[in-house]
Amino acid sequence: MSARRGSGPTMHDVGRLAEVSAMTVSRVLKNDPGVSESTRERVFAAVDRLGYRRNQTARSLRLGGSGMIGLVVTNLANPFYSRLALGVQEVATEYGFRMLLSNSAEQADREPALIDGLVDHQVEGLIVVPAGSRQQHLAGAMRHVPVVLAARPPAGLDTDCVLVEDFHGAREATACLLADGHTRIAFLGNPPALYTGAERLRGFWAAHEEVGVEPDHDLIRQGLVDAAAAERATLDLLARADRPAALFCTNNRISQGAIRALYKAGTTLPLAGFDDFDLADVLGLPLTVVSYDADEIGRQAARLLIDRLAHHDGAPPASRRVTVPTRVVRHGVPDGADGPDGATPEA
């Protein structure tokens, strides 16, 4: 057996020759005590035969590891995840680690292969924003490296996570709209299967219950995956004879799609949305924004991961949950000049 022409042998090549998985090869090269001696001998024999970066691997082991941590996000084009990645990188660099970044593009079926690829690259730990609610593949990875979740909690896993005050932020922003006199508030949300979508709907609903108002089910739109979908949903709501008096959006992309729809319709409605975004303060719209430090989510996740790495040879700490606080920022003058749920003036 030979490596592919034009490139060095890979961990998969070693695994095929040794008749084990690439993850098992990684475990052997990292001195995992759970690997049998016979398997260890087969893997090192394959490493020697193929000339698989043996010297580099030995050097990494002498230094105590590869010096790399992996980060998997769901949408790098979203500024939230870019800021989160910068926060991870800041702390990783402080502690002498490099960061390998992967993007699942919000496709849950892609995530297991990305996780396996990072383990193949001998990362010492992983920070993951799960793309879906099924996390069995993360349980498999946790047998070899510590895993910390960001923005979404573990489902059936015993591990650390860093979350945002999703429920509290949504409740507070919705309460602002209700306090301005708007009781017909449309809800524009991401998929309800996502933790953030469910928690932000729960906060929206709680704010209504606190003032004795029941949300109109006909004004709730969920499963919006991007700005284009949010724009279409908003235009549909605006076309109703009983259109909403205000809008609540569960993330920055949905807010941007809704704002685009308002401009296309030539109208203005008060809008509250999770996630701050550039130019929100100069759009000339009455905006209520749930703001928080996305960099801090990354920093906290990296600190939790590095702390687990520091306990590699001893008893690991109990799983921890860190919550990053939110605050409401209001741009423009809240619209209410026409009275509660009055007709909104055309722009």
Q: Where are the domains of the chain?
A: 11-54, 65-165+294-316, 166-291+328-336
pLDDT at 314 over 70: no
pLDDT band for 316, please (50, 70, 90 cuts). Answer: confident
pLDDT band, very low/low/confident/very high, at 333 (cuts 50, 70, 90): low
Dump strand ranges (E) for the chain: 68-73, 98-103, 126-128, 147-150, 160-164, 185-188, 220-221, 246-249, 271-274, 287-291, 321-324, 327-331
The pTM (predicted TM-score) of the whole model is 0.75
User: 93-149, pLDDT tens digit by residue?
Assistant: 888 889 999 999 888 899 999 999 999 888 999 999 998 888 888 988 998 899 999
Q: What is the rounded average pLDDT of the residues 314-318?
A: 73
Residue of 199, 170, 196, 195 whose CA lies nearest to 185: 170
> Beta-carbon neighbour count of residue 80 at 10 Å?
23
The span from the CA of 167 to the CA of 69, in Å, is 30
> Which CATH architecture best describes the domain 166-291+328-336?
3-Layer(aba) Sandwich (3.40)
Task: Tell me the H-state helices in 180-250.
Answer: 195-210, 227-238
CATH topology of domain 65-165+294-316: Rossmann fold (3.40.50)
pLDDT higher than 90, residue 35:
no
Average pLDDT for 174-189: 96
**Alpha-carbon span 263 to 238, nearest angstrom:** 11
* Dist CA 73 CA 129 (whole Å): 5
Please give the Cα distance from 27 to 9 (Å, whole number): 17
Is 11-54's fold the same as 65-165+294-316's?
no
| Reported CATH class of domain 11-54 | mainly alpha
Strands 147-150 and 126-128, sheet pairing:
parallel
Per-residue confidence (pLDDT) for residue 239, from 0 to 100: 96
Q: What is d(CA 332, CA 280) in angstroms, rounded to the nearest whole number?
A: 10
Average pLDDT rounded to a whole number, residues 279-290: 84
